[in-house]
Amino acid sequence: MSRILIVDDSPSQLMGMKRIVEKLGHEALTAEDGAAGVEMAKKEKPDLILMDVVMPNLNGFQATRAISKEATTAHIPIVLVTTKDQETDKVWGMRQGAKAYITKPFNENALIEVINSLLAGA
């Protein structure tokens, strides 16, 4: 069983992703904004992070950069799960340290595939 941190300011999105993660047999940790997500990543050292982009305090790009540049959390793969669907957003997200980029509304099977592939490579 892996520990997956879900960072999203939308309660419905948070619950939807949590349900998928738990259905896969993993433990779901949650944070409701980028700043809380960075702190939770440092404290809990999850195996994977699902990160929204449009959030208060720190946005997902900033939080991803902070986590991927921090020595103690740089190894954690981050998947950006966001409504931002422009190619420039995807390129920017990957440059911040994300390992994958999924746009909302997401296909549950696509999310599961990304989670499984990143956890297998971890």
Task: Judge whether 118 lies within some domain.
Answer: no
Q: Model confidence over 88-105: pLDDT tens digits?
A: 999 999 999 999 999 999
Say if residue 119's pLDDT is above 70.
Answer: yes
Q: Model confidence over 2-42: pLDDT tens digits?
A: 999 999 999 999 999 999 999 999 999 999 999 999 999 99
Residue pair 114/100 in contact by the 8 Å Cβ criterion: yes
Task: Judge whether 120 lies within some domain.
Answer: no
Q: What is the pLDDT of residue 121?
A: 79
Q: What is the pLDDT of residue 40?
A: 98
What Rg value do the Cα atoms of the chain yield, rounded?
Answer: 13
**83/93 Cα distance (integer angstroms):** 13
Number of domains in the chain: 1
Task: Judge whether 105 lies within some domain.
Answer: yes
Confidence of residue 111 (pLDDT cuts 50, 70, 90): very high
Domain holding 28, by residue range, is 3-112
Identify the residue whose tokens are 């994300």. Answer: 98
Residue pair 40/76 in contact by the 8 Å Cβ criterion: no
Task: Judge whether 117 lies within some domain.
Answer: no
Over range 76-92, report the average pLDDT: 97
Q: What is the pLDDT of residue 122?
A: 53
